[in-house]
DNA sequence: ACAGCAGTGTGAACAGTGTCTACATGGACG
DNA sequence: CGTCCATGTAGACACTGTTCACACTGCTGT
């Protein structure tokens, strides 16, 4: 997974860039952004530290790449939840993308942090479509679900372009608070009810 | 500001603990959590690196202390907004604490990040009252404002204990998205309108 | 087929970091 | 006045990101 997609030169290593990205992703999964240590990634790829600089300008560039891959993972999780919902159930579709987002944050806290705490990347999250990467960004999925809801019910006739951000803000904020906030240790049922309550609040408040 | 309050022994340095905390806070203000570098703090205090370990067990302990101080700053900012609102204006008081929170995040992004991105601290944010520190925590202020609103209007008769978290989630999420998200560079007027919109959404959705 | 070459990985080095240890110092208190 | 414990120092260690000169490798053009 997380194949770069482009060229596959098969030089000395095979595809070091992909190997470093995979190692970085594994580190991110276990320990969040700070755990993405360049030297450790090269170690796991069985390569000297300097080799990384043939593929990434910086430790930040590696972290950036891991972050983009993690954002794609979030989007995939959202789409998976979406798959079970009928196309005309606008209410359900909004709930699904929100749930996908929140559940991913709980299931993969490290990746989630890297996806959205790496500052420069959030700016990309709302951008049209990433170059090669296939799917939509998490923000686009949420925004699209909101569009559907607005069409289905005449929910907010004067819906201004910021409404999707407000919804995202609420969902993202709950995810963060559940991640390392006062609600960290919560049993599954209560947490799931918090998801539902928040999404209801968002839908009602828009 | 940020005086520890307790003993002031005037040993070699005077009060190194406070000096380190001040230096750490300044570093946090400029560069967020990663910028809180123990050695740099000792350098600014004019002291050897090892000296810090007489007052903080860890770099993490220093960061933790800076985080608590920053949380107190957030609370102060919220209370400052609250001061201009009449006691019986429950609507206005909820808005005020939310605005204080959001405006602080924009004015002091580095401190805000340290206040709420340092994982272990968020758990404390909701706790009753911190040991020596005078005022309320940001969460308590928000929760209190919500209580007022519930009393004033029979807003949510079956208000479950999680409602304040949902409101906090929405406010916090917007703050984060505005900090290093796609809305980063936004003119002041638009940003303030986003604050108002979100708080309206929260109030309507509760 | 062979020389060249650009892409790729190596090894050693540098500065900077957190952290530990043995040692020095100086103010407080008997 | 003398002792002692809290405080600060010096130096070391392991680790990090980053850079440099160098070595290899496999494709390219003649």
A80, A112, A97, A102: which is closest to A193 by C-alpha?
Answer: A102
CA distance A93 to B151: 34
Q: Which residue is nearest to nucleotide C27 (CA to C1')?
A: B11
Q: How far is the CA of B64 from the C1' of D14 (A)?
A: 24
Q: Looking at the domain assignment, is residue A8 inside a domain? A: no
How far CA B47 is from CA of A177, B2, B25, B43, in Å, comes to 37, 20, 17, 6
* Distance, Å, A55 CA → D28 C1': 23
The CA distance from B73 to B31, in Å, is 17
Establish if B139 belongs to a structural domain.
Answer: yes
Q: Tens digits of per-residue pLDDT, A12-32?
A: 778 999 999 999 999 999 999
Q: How far is the CA of A48 from the C1' of D18 (A)?
A: 13
Q: How far is the CA of B54 from the C1' of C26 (A)?
A: 16
Question: Nearest residue to nucleotide C25 when comparing alpha carbons to its C1'?
Answer: B12
Averaged pLDDT score across all residues of chain A: 85
Residues 6+ apart with CB under 8 A from A54: A16
Does position B11 have pLDDT exceeding 90, yes or no?
Answer: no
**Could you tell me if residue A172 is inside a domain?**
yes
ipTM: 0.87
**Mean pLDDT, to the nearest integer, of A44-68?**
97
Domains identified in chain B, total number: 1
User: What is the per-residue pLDDT for A127?
Assistant: 59
pLDDT at B147: 83
Higher local confidence (pLDDT), A204 or A161? A204
For residue A106, tell me if it sits in a domain: yes
| Closest approach of A70 to chain B, Cα-based (Å) | 16
Provide the 10 A C-beta neighbour count for residue A14: 12
Which residue of B lies nearest to A191 if distances are taken between CA atoms? B162
Residues with Cβ < 8 Å from B22, sequence gap 6 or more? B2
B59-97: b or e for each residue (b if 16 or more CB lie within 10 Å)?
Answer: beebbbbbbbbbbbbbbebbbebbeebeeeebbbbbbbb
B148/B91 Cα distance (integer angstroms): 8
CATH code of A122's domain: 1.10.357
Residue B158 maps to a domain: yes
**Strand D bases contacted by the protein (CB, 7 Å):** 6-12, 15-21, 25-27
Q: What confidence category does residue A4 fall into, taking pLDDT thresholds of 50, 70 and 90?
A: very low
Residue-wise pLDDT for A192-205, tens only, equals: 999 999 999 999 88
Any domain includes A121: yes
Residues 6+ away with beta carbon under 8 Å from A69 = A2, A21, A25
Which nucleotide across the nucleic acid strands is nearest to B52, CA versus C1'? D8
Q: Which residues constitute the domain of residue A111?
A: 63-205
If you measure CA to CA, which chain A residue comes closest to B202?
A205
CA–CA distance from A101 to each of A95, A198, B173 (Å)? 10, 13, 13
Pick the residue from chain A with its C-alpha nearest to B123.
A182
**Binning pLDDT at 50, 70 and 90, where does residue B42 land?**
very high
Residues of B in contact with A174 (CB under 8 A): 165-166, 169-170, 173
**Position B44 in a domain:** no
pLDDT band of residue A34 (cuts 50, 70, 90) is: very high
* Residues from chain B contacting residue A204 (CB–CB below 8 Å): 204-205
Q: Is residue A190 part of a domain?
A: yes
């Amino acid at each position: 997974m997380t194949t770069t997609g482009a060229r596959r030169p098969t030089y000395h290593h095979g595809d070091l860039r992909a190997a470093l990205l995979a190692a970085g992703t594994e580190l991110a999964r276990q320990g969040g952004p700070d755990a993405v240590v360049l030297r450790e990634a090269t170690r796991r790829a069985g390569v000297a530290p300097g080799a990384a600089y043939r593929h990434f300008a910086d430790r930040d560039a590696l972290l950036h790449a891991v972050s983009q891959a993690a954002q794609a993972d979030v989007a995939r999780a959202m789409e998976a939840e979406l798959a079970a919902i009928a196309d005309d159930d606008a209410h359900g579709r909004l709930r699904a993308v929100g749930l996908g987002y929140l559940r991913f944050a709980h299931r993969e806290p490290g990746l989630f942090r890297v996806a959205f705490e790496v500052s420069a990347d959030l700016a990309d999250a709302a951008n049209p479509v990433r170059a090669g990467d296939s799917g939509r960004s998490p923000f686009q999925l949420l925004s699209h679900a909101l569009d559907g809801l607005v069409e289905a019910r005449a929910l907010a006739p004067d819906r201004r372009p910021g409404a999707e951000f407000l919804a995202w803000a609420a969902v993202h904020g709950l995810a963060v608070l559940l991640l390392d906030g006062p609600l960290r240790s919560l049993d599954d049922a209560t947490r799931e009810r918090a998801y539902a309550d928040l999404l209801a609040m968002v839908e009602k408040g828009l």
